Amino acid sequence: MAGSNVAVFLDRDGTINFDPGYLGDPDKVILLPGVGQGISRLKKQIDAIIIVVSNQSGITRGLISEDDVKAVNEKINELLKEYGTGIDAFYYCPFHPDFDPPEKTKCRKPSPEMILRAAKDFSIDLNKSYMVGDTLTDIEAGIKAGTKTVLLVSKDKESENFTLQNKSIIPTFVAANFSDACNFIIDDFFGRNN
């Protein structure tokens, strides 16, 4: 990873792990199919820095604590160790406009603030980087930050793609699953998608 300036930013719940809603129990963390292998490939084949950027408004809602979020993040990395890989950094926004003043919620996606902060912390070239997520807010955040974007579309999220089209927000690529997203990123990185 030394010297890499390419990052793959990942949403967390619904992108790399199953999303039961306000996940606070590390024992309930289940990686989605292909995630361990995919992250391992991204690190080995394109030397990517892997960074999670997630909205965690369950904290301000009083449904989960910051310690819960950190425990879940640690569990994700524990599970990824089985694949010889891991997340390099986790960024999360604990706030929500219904509960917090505007100055606090600036970090919340679709704002690119978490991506921009990580880019500064890790000296990342955003033009060479990617944002992968399963919602409109992920794609908007990536576009605003200047990354390429990959939308994961599962059966229960097909409306996201329709909403994106209606708002004229076009992801760089629409993937059927995490493995598909990684294949696109690796091919794109090496210029094989042209």
pLDDT (tens digit, 9 = 90+) per residue, 65-91? 999 999 999 999 999 999 999 999 999
Which CATH number do you get for residue 105? Answer: 3.40.50.1000
Determine the structural domain holding residue 67 and report its residue range.
Answer: 7-189
- What does the DSSP 8-state code read for residue 86? -
Phi, psi of 92 (to 5 degrees): -145, 150
Q: What pLDDT score does 124 carry?
A: 98
Is-contact 50 10, C-beta < 8 A? yes
Q: Which residue has the tokens 């992920």?
A: 138
Q: How far apart are CA 59 and CA 37, in angstroms?
A: 30
Q: Please state the rounded mean pLDDT for residues 1-22.
A: 88
Catalytic residue check, 13 = yes
Q: Is residue 16 pLDDT above 90, yes or no? A: yes
Catalytic residue check, 11 = yes
- Number of domains making up the chain: 1
Q: Does 134 fall in a domain?
A: yes
Least confident of 3-7, 49-53, 173-177, 189-193: 3-7
Q: Does 68 fall in a domain?
A: yes
Q: Is 109 left (phi over 0), alpha (psi -120 to 50) or beta?
A: beta
Q: What pLDDT score does 193 carry?
A: 75
Question: How would residue 27 be classed by pLDDT, with cut points 50, 70 and 90?
Answer: very high
User: What pLDDT digit, counting tens, does each position of 48-59 carry?
Assistant: 999 999 999 999
Q: Does 194 fall in a domain?
A: no
Q: What pLDDT score does 159 carry?
A: 58
